[in-house]
C-alpha cells in the first residue's frame, strides 16, 4: 500500500494524455509525469537510498521539483523541502535534525549546499547540471513501476517550521495526513479534471506541494507553475492558461485588488480561489470576488495541522471568519489553564486527528512525547461565533497587553485597513515601563500623502475602544515580508524599539 503514490498512478491510468504540468515551455502529460517520477525514484534507489531515508529539493518552483516530489513519494523516501533563501548558518540545524542523504539543488542554491556538504555528508546534485544525476535519471529508460510499500502512519514529508519562537522544529507529515488533506481540498473546492491550478507560493512551504499540487493530481487537474510570486506575471499566467483556481496569502490578494483591478475583471476563467496564512479582511474578499467573479474561500491551518477550519463552496460563510471547524481534525479552544471555553469566548486553538502531526521529528523519528497531551497547540487565539464559525483573533505571542487589557493586533489591523487610504498595516507591541506594552501601527498607504497619522488615529478612535487605538502611526513604503508573504512582526518590533 502507498496511499498518496496511488493519486498519480491512477490519474496517469485515467488521463494518460491529459496535461498534468506546465512550467514555461515545459509540458508534461500525466503519463509523462508518472514515468519521470518512476525514473527518478529508480535512480534514487540505485544510489542505495532506502524507504524512510530523507531526500530534499532546494530551489524555487520548477517542474523538476514536482517530479522529485512524486519520485520521493513513489520510492517511499521522506521529502525534506529546503528553503533556497536560507543561509548556511540557518540550514545547519535543519540538516543536523533531518539526516538528509540527497539534496537536489539549483544554480541559485548550489554554493550554499556545497558549503555544508562535507560537514553533513549528503550527496549533492544540481538540476541545472546537464550531466548531473537528475538529468541522467530523467533520460534513462523505463524502469517499470516504482511503488514502495508505506503504511498510513509512515512519514511522507518533513517540513521545518519558521522558527520564529526558537530553533525550527521538524513537522512530520504522514500518508494518512496527506490523503485526508487532499480529499478535503477536492471536496471543499470541487476540483475536477477540468481544473487548471496556478501555483503561486513556494514549494519549500507546505501549502504548494501538500495543499495544492497533490490534491490537483488526485483530481486529475492541470498544474501551472510560477517560479516566484510576481504580481504582473501572476495575472499573465491566469489569462494565458485560463486558470480556474489558485491559492495565495492575504498580502497577494490585497496587491491584486489594489493594483490589478482592471486585470481581475478580465479573469473570467477563475472559479474558486483560496486564502490562508493570516487573517484577511472582509473588504478584500468582497472586492476580489466582485472583480473576478470567483469565490474566495478562507482556510485556517498550520504546518503541523492542516485545515482546522475551512469554508466550502455553496456552504454558509461569515465575513471575517475562517469557516467552520474541519472534518479531518478534532478542534477545541481552551483558556490559559487548558480548560475548554464556550462559544463566544476567546481561547487558544488546539487540534488532533487525521490532518495533525502525531509529534515533532526528533533524533531521527516521530517523538509522540513532544505533544505531551496528544494535542497540537497552535499558539493562535480564536473564538467561535454563532456556535461554529471560527474567527482568528491573533497569535497568542502577538497579543499585546497594555495596562492589563488584551489587544489582538488582527482586530486593530482590520479597522486600520478600512480607511480608504490604507493598503496594509501591522500592529506590534512596544515595551513600556508603566503600561507593559503600547500598540504601534506601521502603515503602508495606497498613495503617498493619502493620509496623515493624525487622520488615521481619528479614524480608529471612531471604531475602537481608546486602549486599542495605536499610540503611534508610522507610515512606511513597505512592510518586511517572509518569502511566503507573511509580515515579519519581529523585524517591526526591532524597528519600533530602535525608533524610541
List of residues 6+ apart from 200 with CB closer than 8 A:
226, 229, 234, 246, 247, 248, 252
pLDDT digits (tens, 9 = 90+) for 339-352: 999 999 999 999 99
Q: Grid coordinates representing 208?
A: 504548494
Average pLDDT over all residues of the chain: 92
Long-range contacts: 115-122, Cβ < 8 Å, 24+?
Answer: 115/88, 116/88, 116/91, 116/92, 119/92, 120/95, 120/96, 122/95
pLDDT, residue 144, reads: 86
- Res 435 pLDDT > 80: no
At residue 355, the pLDDT reads: 97
What is the pLDDT at residue 464?
Answer: 85
Residue 193 exposed, middle or buried by CB count within 10 Å (0-12, 13-18, 19+): middle
pLDDT digits (tens, 9 = 90+) for 380-407: 899 999 988 999 887 777 878 787 667 8
pLDDT of the residue at 244? 98
pLDDT at 162: 58
Minimum mean pLDDT among 42-46, 143-147, 288-292, 425-429: which range? 143-147
pTM of the predicted model as reported, rounded to 2 decimal places: 0.84
The dihedral of CA 349, 155, 66, 101: what is its sign?
A: positive
Q: What is the CA radius of gyration of the chain?
A: 23
- Residue 158 half-sphere exposure toward CB, CA atoms < 13 A: 28
pLDDT, mean of residues 452-469: 91
pLDDT at 498: 83
So what's the pLDDT on residue 164? 40
Range 322-334 average pLDDT: 92
Q: What is the b/e burial string over 289-316, where b = at least 16 CB atoms within 10 angstroms of the residue's CB?
A: eebbebbbbbbbbbbbbbbbbbbbeeee
> Region 29-49: what's the mean pLDDT?
97
pLDDT at position 404 is: 61
Residues 69, 295: Cα–Cα separation, whole Å: 29
Mean pLDDT of the 143-157 span? 94
pLDDT, position 252: 87
Name the more confident of 268 and 145: 268
Mean local confidence (pLDDT), 216-221: 98
**Does residue 130 surpass a pLDDT of 60?**
yes
Q: Give the per-residue pLDDT at 436.
A: 77
Amino acid at each position: 500500500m502507498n496511499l498518496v503514490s496511488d493519486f498519480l498512478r491512477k490519474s496517469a491510468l485515467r488521463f494518460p494524455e491529459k496535461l498534468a504540468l506546465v512550467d514555461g515551455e515545459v509540458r508534461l502529460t500525466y503519463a509523462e509525469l508518472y514515468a519521470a517520477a518512476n525514473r527518478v525514484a529508480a535512480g534514487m534507489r540505485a544510489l542505495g537510498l532506502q524507504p524512510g531515508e530523507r531526500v530534499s529539493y532546494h530551489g524555487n518552483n520548477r517542474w523538476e521539483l514536482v517530479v522529485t516530489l512524486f519520485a520521493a513519494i513513489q520510492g517511499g523516501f521522506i521529502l525534506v523541502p529546503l528553503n533556497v533563501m536560507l543561509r548556511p548558518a540557518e540550514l545547519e540545524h535543519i540538516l543536523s535534525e533531518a539526516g538528509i542523504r540527497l539534496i537536489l539543488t539549483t544554480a541559485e542554491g548550489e554554493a550554499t549546499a556545497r558549503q555544508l556538504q562535507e560537514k553533513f555528508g549528503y550527496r549533492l546534485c544540481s538540476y541545472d547540471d546537464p550531466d548531473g544525476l537528475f538529468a541522467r535519471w530523467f533520460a534513462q529508460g523505463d524502469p517499470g513501476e516504482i511503488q514502495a510499500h508505506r503504511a498510513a502512519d509512515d512519514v511522507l514529508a518533513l517540513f521545518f517550521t519558521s522558527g520564529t519562537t526558537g530553533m525550527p522544529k521538524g513537522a512530520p507529515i504522514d500518508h494518512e495526513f496527506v490523503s485526508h488533506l487532499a480529499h478535503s481540498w477536492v471536496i471543499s473546492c470541487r476540483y475536477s479534471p477540468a481544473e487548471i491550478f496556478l501555483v503561486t507560493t513556494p514549494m519549500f512551504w507546505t501549502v504548494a506541494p501538500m495543499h495544492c499540487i497533490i490534491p490537483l493530481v488526485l483530481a486529475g487537474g492541470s498544474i501551472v507553475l510560477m517560479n516566484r510570486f510576481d504580481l504582473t506575471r501572476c495575472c499573465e499566467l491566469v489569462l494565458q492558461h485560463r486558470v480556474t483556481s489558485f491559492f495565495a496569502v492575504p498580502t497577494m490578494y490585497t496587491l491584486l485588488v489594489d493594483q490589478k483591478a482592471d486585470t481581475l475583471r478580465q479573469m473570467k476563467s477563475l472559479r474558486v480561489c483560496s486564502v490562508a496564512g493570516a487573517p484577511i479582511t472582509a473588504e478584500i474578499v468582497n472586492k476580489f470576488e466582485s472583480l473576478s467573479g470567483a469565490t474566495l474561500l478562507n482556510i485556517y491551518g498550520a504546518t503541523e495541522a492542516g485545515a482546522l477550519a475551512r469554508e466550502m463552496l455553496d456552504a454558509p460563510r461569515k465575513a471575517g471568519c475562517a469557516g467552520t471547524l474541519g472534518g479531518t481534525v478534532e478542534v477545541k479552544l481552551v483558556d490559559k489553564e487548558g480548560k475548554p471555553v464556550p462559544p463566544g469566548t476567546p481561547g487558544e486553538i488546539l487540534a488532533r486527528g487525521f490532518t495533525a502531526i502525531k509529534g515533532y521529528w526528533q533524533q531521527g523519528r516521530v517523538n509522540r512525547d513532544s505533544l505531551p497531551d496528544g494535542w497540537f497547540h497552535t499558539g493562535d487565539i480564536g473564538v467561535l461565533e454563532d456556535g461554529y464559525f471560527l474567527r482568528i483573533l491573533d497569535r497568542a505571542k502577538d497579543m499585546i497587553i497594555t495596562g492589563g487589557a488584551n489587544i489582538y493586533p488582527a482586530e486593530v489591523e482590520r479597522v486600520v485597513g478600512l480607511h480608504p487610504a490604507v493598503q496594509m498595516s501591522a500592529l506590534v507591541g512596544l515595551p513600556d515601563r508603566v503600561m507593559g506594552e503600547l500598540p504601534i501601527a506601521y502603515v503602508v498607504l495606497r498613495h503617498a500623502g493619502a493620509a496623515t497619522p493624525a487622520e488615521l488615529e481619528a479614524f480608529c478612535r471612531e471604531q475602537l475602544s481608546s486602549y486599542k487605538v495605536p499610540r503611534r502611526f508610522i507610515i512606511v513604503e513597505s512592510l518586511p515580508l517572509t518569502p511566503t508573504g507573511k509580515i515579519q512582526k519581529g523585524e517591526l518590533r526591532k524597528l519600533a524599539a530602535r525608533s524610541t
